[in-house]
Amino acid sequence: MIEIDDGAAGQRIDNFLLRVCKGVPKSHIYRILRSGEVRVNKGRVDAQYRLALGDLVRVPPIRVARADEVPAAPVPSAHFDILYEDDHLLVIDKPAGVAVHGGSGVAFGVIEQLRAARPQAKFLELVHRLDRETSGVLMLAKKRSALVNLHEQIRGNGMDKRYYACVRGEWASDWGRRRAVKEPLHKYLLPDGERRVRVQPDGLPSHTIFNLVDRWPGYALLEAELKTGRTHQIRVHLAHLGLPIVGDAKYGDFALNKELARANARPGLKRMFLHAYRLKLTHPASGETLQFEAPLPAECQRFVAQLAEIGSDGSRQQHGPQGEQPHDETGTHGSTAI
């Protein structure tokens, strides 16, 4: 008998059972639901039933034949800089090079490491995702009710996500300081199974706004404002404009990336310059407007400083990630180490 708490309230019974009965085939889960072996408050329910706080769920004994398996390597716990935490949310500053979850050749990611570091946590789920090589603000939900609310905000365009990207190329003079891109995006697989995205007329509607922050000969620093959240959206929209992100191994200038990654290169950079620096949202419980910011990583700050030294002509703008950010009358949170 399992009593439903905040971590499972609102979840469908079939998904709940799949989580509780790890390793049990999905077909068997639906079989015991149809046969009435699973009971909620002593009554039968169908697979679409949504659990309520305090429900009592009877899960029948289930015997599963297991083949001999090599035990999976334990997931090491990890420590990330915390930008904000309360009973509903956990917001961290994710470093570049760390996947948000395991899969596709990655044994584990941020979510698995945080669960290992917090074995007492009853519920911990990713609210959104960042590419492995993208750093910055990453939010997780500590309650299912918070996760549902935050996903509704994302679908309703109620979250303001901002990124910094340094690109190779010249910002066109007739674009002004703001350029909107609404090219549809299509996902496809390479022959080796790797995922890619391209601009394609029958792709999913996609909308990014790019704001010019600074520029130097052959480079520009941009702020990207996401209006939709498609896979690789910023990277593909910028490549489509002829402004590939510095260090982008999938859609970038590969010869340039190799040159920048050389030892003692100046300017030099050994990662993709894409950083989720700000996230603004409504708190799922209190309704308060919150804003989280992650400082530009040291290696990116160093790259910008090198570009400024090389291309300085006295006309450089004094704003952007190294200057003051516009003041916002919201709860803004910086980082504290775990």
Q: Which residues pair with 125 in a beta bridge?
A: 141
13-20 helix and 26-34 helix, angle to the nearest 10 degrees = 130
DSSP state at residue 120: T
Buried b (16+ CB within 10 A) or exposed e, 65-103: eeeeeeeeeebeebebbebbeeebbbbbbbebebbbeee
Q: Is residue 131 annotated as a catalytic residue, yes or no?
A: yes
Which strands make up the sheet holding 56-58, listed edge to edge?
2-3, 56-58, 39-40
- In this structure, the chain runs to a length of 338
SS3 assignment, position 59: coil
Catalytic residue of the set 131, 214, 248, 253 = 131
Those residues with Cβ within 8 angstroms of residue 124's Cβ, 6 or more apart along the chain or in another chain = 90, 111, 114, 115, 118, 140, 141, 142
Q: Do 160 and 276 form a contact (C-beta atoms < 8 A)?
A: no
Burial class (CB in 10 A: 0-12, 13-18, 19+), 326: exposed
User: Whose structure tokens read 């549902």?
Assistant: 148
- Contact of 225 with 161, CB cutoff 8 Å: yes
Q: What three-state secondary structure class fits 147? A: helix
Q: Which residues pair with 84 in a beta bridge?
A: 91
3-class secondary-structure state, position 125: strand
SS3 label, residue 114: helix
Catalytic residues: 131
